[in-house]
Homo-oligomer: A and B are copies of this chain.
Amino acid sequence: MTTGVIQLDHGTGGGMSQELIAELIAPRLGAVHSGRMEDSAVLELEVNRIALTTDSFVIDPIFFGNGDIGKLAVCGTVNDLAVSGAVPRYLTLSLVLEEGFALADLERVLDSVREAAAAARVEVVAGDTKVVRAGEIDRLFINTAGVGLFERDLELGVGRVVTGDTVIVTGWLGNHSIHILSLREGLGFEQRVLSDCAPLDGMVGDVLEEQGRSVRCMRDITRGGLGTVLNELAEGAGVSIRIERQRLPIQHETAMAADMLGVDPLYLANEGNICMLVAPGAAAEILEVVRRHPNGGAAQIVGTVREREGSPVTIVGTDGTETVVELLYGAELPRLC
């Protein structure tokens, strides 16, 4: 490993692969890593009901203002598990590396994996490392699969949504996307609009602990943004959802940047933002629990669930007119996560 960059032999499965794992990957992961990072991990579970999820991360650039692809990979998978109602517990970590990728950059990414996994109280139990020739991939892609345990006696799901339910959004809409797009396009907003990338298992855990019976379902607001999430929920539940433009948590600079880019924050991906459908009587208390959390300060009640009539999702503008929130069809915004 003396050349300081990834070589093809780091992926050959022999001595150099073993050295990379033993001398760089395992030490960097430190306490959040258990097992041999090869082949299968054996897990003894205390429950019989688990959540399983997978995500590949291809973000460009891999390092951004307040995070990187490693943090993103952990948070994305942790949040997917958390919104299912499961407690995130185990991750796998699969790296596909470009020949010539700097080992120092790999170390930075793994430091972020360690920090995010520690924050989310998950263990990395199995891994894989592949190396492809220079030019065959752009630097580094990561896949994380995750296992969460259903430790609470709660059923969440779109089938539990009923007319009258309240829609809560836990954070600023679109900040992750605007941060990355601004970095890529050199717009200068990246200092003022940071990525929201964060593990939200703690926030979700507190909500379920204190008000779990009143939560119908939750969704991570990722690709496609709130507009897509709400359309999926409305279709799944057979209801209509009406939101109000003036209640949407949108940071001023995010709105400005989105305007410049010709995109709507309603369709932009977050990486640490959740949409919750909850019983109306508990909405104010749930909002308080969310706002106590470091990533929940901007949380808002944004709308209500109604009987299905007309379009699945509508938005009431600041002038009082109601328009349809269509499903996003195309936007050509690749590699935001």
Contact = CB atoms under 8 A, between A and B. Distances in A.
A24 interface: no
Interface stretch (A282-290, A298-306, A324-332): A324-332
Interface string A262-289: 0000010100000000000000000000
Interface residues of A, number: 79
Contacts of A330: 7, 9, 12, 14-16
A58 interface: yes
Contacts of A15: 327-330
A127 B54 CA distance: 6
Contacts of A145: 52, 54, 92, 94, 143, 145
A327 to B, nearest CB: 5
A64 B223 CA distance: 34
Contacts of A60: 132, 136
Interface in A87-115: 90, 92-96, 99
Given A42-B150, A94-B143, A145-B145, 14 more contacts: A7-B330, A8-B333, A9-B331, A12-B223, A12-B224, A12-B330, A14-B328, A14-B330, A44-B49, A45-B50, A54-B127, A132-B334, A133-B334, A133-B335
A244 B332 CA distance: 58
Contact of A90 (B44, B52, B225): B52
Nearest to A236: B36
Given A54-B127, A56-B94, A86 B40 contact: yes
Contacts of A334: 8, 11-12, 99, 131-133
A39 B84 contact: yes
A128 B77 CA distance: 11
A147 interface: yes
